[in-house]
Amino acid sequence: MMFKKGKQYDFLKQVKWMGILLAAVMLTNLGVCLYAISAISDETSKYADSVVLSYVREVQQMLDNIDNTIATEILYDTKLDTIQDGKDIIEVIQANLTVKNLLASWAHQYALPVNHMIYFPGTETTITGSREEKEYAEWRRIEKELISMLVEKKGSSEDSEVGEWNVVNLQGKNYILKYYYYKGRYIGSWIEIDKLIDTMVAEGLGKECLFVVSSASGKAYNSQERLEEKGLSIPASIGEKLVVRDFLSPDMIVNEPVKGTTFSLNAVILGYSQVAGALSVQIALTLIVVMIAAACLVFMLYIRRTLIKPIQDFSNNIRKFREDNTYTVETHYQIAELANASEILADLVKQINGLKIDIYERTLEQQKVKMDFLTLQIEPHFYLNCLNIIYHMTEIKKYKEVQNLSQCVSDYLRYIFKTGNNMVLLGEELEHTKKYLEIQKIRYRDGFEAVIEVEEEVLGVKVPPLLLQTFVENALKHTIDWEEEITISLRGRKMSRGKEDYIQIEVEDSGEGFEEEILRKLQHGIDISEGEKRIGIMNAVQRLHLQYGDRAKVCFYNRPEGGAGVRIQIPIKERKEGGE
């Protein structure tokens, strides 16, 4: 009990502690998670910064170089004058070819094709440095629009002009463009924005990294659909590097203006792979831990319900039983073994209780018998009569008979006190009975005749005390009649029934016999004692029953010749006292 109690106590506590521990782990996990996210996103943004910066620098460098090249190598070139004047066709053609080759040679100095063109409004001729088929086709596509745009921009002013690198939309595509207007001719450089973006590669920057060219106000010039898809918008330029990032958002935009131009370069990083990865790993781990914890908890509760609680109930029940001897079967035991045990226990308890009652009753019975026996033993009438007789005998001065009688009574009493409840030898009992008869003979003076025929071999058998005497007494009592002489016969011999040896004692008299009613009752074993009357017989029968159970038999009958008879059969083998 104590041990079980201890376990229950610990169990709940354990569960509680486990719960606290898990909560602590989860919180730590969360904390680490958040820290990791912020650390990684910081790293990523730093890396993104540096990537964007390097590309911005590259672009700026390239554009500077282009500006430089044009300024130093073509802007003031006299060949352009030749072409513009158009005097000598041969010279014009020569100059044209030379300039063209020059422009073409500048086209592939960088990672992407840079196109140059010169337009002479006077003759409406153009020279283009785009030689490769793809670029030439591109040029043909936008030529008209580009030229008319330049002319429109210029208006009628003859002043020289240099524009900043700008983004223009020609025939539906976006280009960055710079032009010079000098000495009446235009020199322009144009780059496809898509081709510019293609040269930008960012590895390890999130799941997907888009480079976007945007205007100062945040208008994107490429990848517009993708941005829309993702619901992102490019910020307006603040004149220097700008990072746009929401804490938990997996997307980040790094915006940096390109000096010397009207546009900015952006790196749009979708889903920093590491962050998303780390995040999802963390979340997965947390979830797993939580799930395991929950499972454990649930399992423990389940155990508690199906195993521990029933055991506790069970042990409580048993305790109750100890206290008040009742045992109730609980029906909620889900564990079969426990239910079985409980039922068996209930059964046992019932049995025990039954047994207890049995024993109690038997003890009572035994007590009663003993009491009766004791009562019998102390038979006041008999002793009073004997004393009376002795008194009267002394009156008539029959001192010899007084001696005899006192001796007999003394022997009789001695025997009674001596034996108590112990078994006696049949011989002894017989002697005692003879003494009794002698006493009675003195009382009743030849009122009766006793015939005793007992075999010698049965004399040594142990029998319950005062058995024989009782029946003989009974026979005598009921038949003694001062008028006729009756005969009391006592026979005893050894017999066998199957394996059992027993002694058979017959006590008969020649009186009137049992009354019909009485005999019937006796034969049926019904108690015929009425207060003091016939106690002896009943007691004897009861004692025999107690001692020998079914093995001893007492049979009452009336002799055909007249008179009552009792046949007693007592097994020779003893049994332990009190047993069945």
Partner 1 sequence: MKKKVVSLLLVAAMIMTMLAGCGKDSGSTDTGSSDDGDGSVTKTEIGEYTEEDPYHLVFSYVEFYEQDDDARAAVQDAINAKMIPEYHIEVELLPLQYADYQSTIQLMLSGGDDLDVMPIFYTFASSWINMGGIYDMAEFMDTEEGKAIVEALGEENANVGSMNGVLYGFPANKESVELGGLCMRADVCDELGLTEKYGLEANKDAYDGTYYDWSVAEEIFAAVKAARPEMTPLYMYNSDQLVRFKFFDELVDGFGVLDWEADHASTKVVNKFETETYKEAVTMLADWYDKGYIFEDAATDTQGTASMMKAGNTFSYLTAIKPGFLAEAEAANGGKCYAMYFGDHKEGGLSTTNVSFFNTGISANSQDPEMAFKFVSALYADAELMNLWQNGIEDTNYKVLEDGTAFFVEGEDGSNYAYHQNTGWFMGNQFNSYVWNDGSKSADYWTLLQSHNDWAEYSPAFGFMWDSTDYSTEVTALQNALETYRAALHTGSVGLDKVDETIQKLNDALYAAGLQDVMDAKQEQLDKWLAEQK
For residues 26 and 102, which CB has a smaller minimum distance to partner 1 in the complex?
A: 102
Q: Number of C-alpha atoms within 13 angstroms, CB side, residue 218?
A: 12
Residues belonging to the chain: 580
The answer to the question of residue 495 lying near partner 1 (CB under 8 A) is no
Sequence-distant (6+) residues with CB within 8 A of 322 are none
Taking alpha carbons only, the member of 152, 89, 164 closest to residue 121 is 152
CB of 31 closer than 8 Å to CB of 282:
no
The answer to the question of residue 248 lying near partner 1 (CB under 8 A) is no
The answer to the question of residue 131 lying near partner 1 (CB under 8 A) is yes
CB of 240 closer than 8 Å to CB of 255:
no
Instruction: Classify strands 486-497 and 448-454 as parallel, antiparallel or unpaired.
Output: parallel
> Which of residues 3, 78, 89, 152 is near partner 1 by CB under 8 A?
89
For residues 99 and 528, which CB has a smaller minimum distance to partner 1 in the complex?
A: 99
Candidates 92-100, 448-456, 511-519, 555-563; binding stretch for partner 1 (CB under 8 A): 92-100
For residues 137 and 303, which CB has a smaller minimum distance to partner 1 in the complex?
A: 137
**Which value, in Å, is the radius of gyration of the alpha carbons in the chain?**
67
For residues 130 and 547, which CB has a smaller minimum distance to partner 1 in the complex?
A: 130
Smallest distance, partner 1 to C-beta of residue 127, A = 7
Smallest distance, partner 1 to C-beta of residue 141, A = 9
Candidates 51-59, 88-96, 283-291, 403-411; binding stretch for partner 1 (CB under 8 A): 88-96
Window 40-79: contact mask with partner 1 (x via CB under 8 A): ----------------------------------------
For residues 172 and 531, which CB has a smaller minimum distance to partner 1 in the complex?
A: 172
Site for partner 1 in 139-158 (CB under 8 A): 140
Neighbouring C-beta atoms of residue 105, cutoff 10 Å: 12
CA-based torsion, 470, 476, 477, 479: positive or negative: positive
Taking alpha carbons only, the member of 470, 382, 450, 461 closest to residue 428 is 461
> Which of residues 29, 69, 94, 233 is near partner 1 by CB under 8 A?
94
Candidates 129-137, 180-188, 227-235, 275-283; binding stretch for partner 1 (CB under 8 A): 129-137
> Look-up: residue for tokens 């007494």?
473
Q: What is the 3-state secondary structure (H, E, C) of 286-341?
A: HHHHHHHHHHHHHHHHHHHHHHHHHHHHHHHHHHHHHHHCCCCCCCCCCCHHHHHH
Q: Quote the CA–CA distance of 282 and 443 in Å, as a whole number.
A: 118
Q: Quote the CA–CA distance of 389 and 555 in Å, as a whole number.
A: 34
Backbone angles phi, psi at 186, to 5 degrees: -105, 135
Q: Quote the CA–CA distance of 192 and 173 in Å, as a whole number.
A: 8
For residues 103 and 454, which CB has a smaller minimum distance to partner 1 in the complex?
A: 103
Candidates 64-72, 96-104, 207-215, 525-533; binding stretch for partner 1 (CB under 8 A): 96-104
The answer to the question of residue 90 lying near partner 1 (CB under 8 A) is yes
The answer to the question of residue 93 lying near partner 1 (CB under 8 A) is yes
The beta-carbon contacts of 158-163 under 8 Å, at least 24 apart in sequence, are 158/184
Smallest distance, partner 1 to C-beta of residue 186, A = 17
**For 448, left (φ over 0), alpha (ψ -120 to 50), or beta?**
beta
Candidates 93-101, 271-279, 287-295, 307-315; binding stretch for partner 1 (CB under 8 A): 93-101
The answer to the question of residue 96 lying near partner 1 (CB under 8 A) is yes
The answer to the question of residue 137 lying near partner 1 (CB under 8 A) is yes
CA-based angle 44:46:51, to the nearest 5?
90
For residues 49 and 77, which CB has a smaller minimum distance to partner 1 in the complex?
A: 77
The answer to the question of residue 136 lying near partner 1 (CB under 8 A) is yes
Candidates 22-30, 130-138, 295-303, 314-322; binding stretch for partner 1 (CB under 8 A): 130-138
Q: Residue 382, class by beta-carbon neighbours within 10 Å (0-12 exposed, 13-18 middle, 19+ buried)?
A: middle
For residues 65 and 126, which CB has a smaller minimum distance to partner 1 in the complex?
A: 126
Q: Could you tell me the strand order of the sheet in which 208-215 lies?
A: 208-215, 263-270, 251-257, 242-245
For residues 131 and 195, which CB has a smaller minimum distance to partner 1 in the complex?
A: 131
Bridge partners of residue 165, in order along the sequence: 261
> Which of residues 125, 306, 312, 421 is near partner 1 by CB under 8 A?
125
Residues that bind partner 1 (CB under 8 A): 89-90, 93-94, 96-97, 100, 125, 127, 131, 133, 136-137, 140
